[in-house]
Amino acid sequence: MKNDRDRLTIRIFLAVVVGALIIGGLTYFLDKKGNSQTDEGEDEAQSSSPKPAEEGIVDGSGTKNCENIPELPNNALKLATKIIDGDTFLIEGGYSVRILGIDADERGYPCYEEAKKKLEELILNKEVKLEKGSEDLDQYCRYLRYVFSPASAPASAGKDAQNISLELVKEGMAIARSSPEDIKYREIITQAEKNAKENKIGCKWSATTPALVDNPASKQIIFQWDKLTQELTGLIVVNACQAGNYYEKEMIVEGKIVDTNRSKTNTVFLNLEKPYPNQCFNSVIFSSAQYRFVQSPENYYLNKTVRIKGEIKKYQGKPEIILNDPLQIEIGK
């Protein structure tokens, strides 16, 4: 009888231990995955560019379910039917394509109109060849492709074959930007950007680049920094909208926090320069680290110009720095 009670006690103890491990693991997983920034039912209209209704639906995490997007074979030939901006366009059927290897300004930023117009000249109402990179779709259910025009020309040879990413960067309409996995054309695109910079070519590098559309007459404010400076840290300071050029590097990122959010798992997101999901850069404070920071950091830092120090990582196509210590962030004076 005693042995039976002992065995029952052991079983109950083991069940409690296993249950605690499962709950602890689930809590950690949710905290880590809380980086979607969105709650269930968030308006689909917040995506970064207009998309047809059939291009996926928003699931409970706030990201899109792309199951209804048809397969697009490598090197498919498609007609470009509408230009959204300098790096995004629609093909026949109304599906979106995000051009790989570059990043162009969105609406309201200096080179939006010029980059869009240039892409229209290059591909609108023309058949283009769409070459796959390392990933098929992004989080907004857009095809990720290198684009070549005319479609009949080989991508690797012949003066008639235009790499559209390369053309836009050569003419100073976009900057070079690629994921660590997409290296196929990175060298030639990066070299084209270097040449455009040195020779002040196009809207991105010309001395006459227009001001932000949203605030054309604004006078630049000079902020003072006591701690997060290049002199004191030895780290380079970059603008939030350029942070995507420095993945896996420790940097200081400067910009204005224009949008914040606390997720259902109590993860705090600080979005710089543009609201989510179009933010140039975001900084993340997981719930496990928030006891070190001020109360309600999502309110405290909102509308402040800050510098953030740390290693720049890529999450869901955007650069971010995870904040574990308040010494990583400084408000400009």
User: Taking the model in full, what pTM does it have?
Assistant: 0.51
Confidence of residue 110 (pLDDT cuts 50, 70, 90): confident
pLDDT band for position 277 (cuts 50, 70, 90):
confident
In the predicted structure, residue 58 carries a pLDDT above the cut 60: no
Better-predicted residue by pLDDT, 8 or 35? 8
Indicate if 106 belongs to the active site. Answer: yes
Instruction: Please determine, for residue 25, whether its predicted confidence score (pLDDT) is greater than 70.
Output: no
**pLDDT-derived band of residue 2, with 50, 70 and 90 as boundaries?**
low
Q: How confident is the model at residue 68 (pLDDT cuts 50, 70, 90)?
A: confident
User: What domains are there in the chain, each with its CATH number?
Assistant: 47-205 (2.40.50.90), 230-331 (2.40.50.140)
Q: What is the spatial distance between Cα 120 and Cα 168, in angstroms, rounded to a whole number?
A: 11
pLDDT band at 251; cut points 50, 70, 90? very high
106 has a pLDDT exceeding 60: yes
Distance, CA of 206 to chain centre: 25
Tell me, what's the pLDDT at 150? Answer: 81
Task: Say whether 262 is catalytic.
Answer: no
Mean pLDDT of the chain: 81
User: What sign results for the dihedral spanned by CA atoms 146, 152, 154, 159?
Assistant: negative
The residue ranking higher by pLDDT, 183 or 212, is 183
CA separation, residue 244 to residues 56, 161, 175, 301, 331 (Å): 26, 28, 10, 22, 22
> Percentage of residues in the chain with pLDDT exceeding 90?
55
186 belongs to the catalytic site: no
The β-bridge partners of 252 are 237, 309
Catalytic-role residue among 55, 98, 167, 320: 98
Query: Catalytic pick from 55, 142, 307, 320?
Result: 142
Least confident of 149-153, 177-181, 243-247: 149-153
- Region 65-73 average pLDDT: 88
CA distances to 148, 151, 176, 204, 325 from 285, rounded to whole Å, are: 41, 46, 29, 33, 9
Q: How many CB atoms lie within 10 A of CB 256?
A: 18
Residue 44 has pLDDT above 60, yes or no: no
pLDDT at 39: 45
Look up residue 150 and give its two tokens: 């005319």
Question: What digits encode the pLDDT tens for the residues 286-322?
Answer: 999 999 999 999 999 999 999 999 999 998 889 999 9
The whole-number average pLDDT for the span 125-154 is 88
Read off φ and ψ for residue 256, nearest 5 degrees. -95, 135
pLDDT (0 to 100) of residue 216: 40
From the list 86, 82, 83, the residue with the least C-alpha distance to 101 is 86
How far apart are alpha carbons 225 and 325 in whole angstroms? 18
Instruction: Report whether pLDDT(43) > 70.
Output: no
Token look-up 């914040």 returns 260
Taking only the tens place, the pLDDT of each residue in 160-173 is 679 999 999 999 99
Determine which of 78-87, 100-109, 110-119, 277-286 has the lowest per-residue pLDDT on average.
Answer: 100-109
Residue of 106, 171, 193, 320 marked catalytic: 106
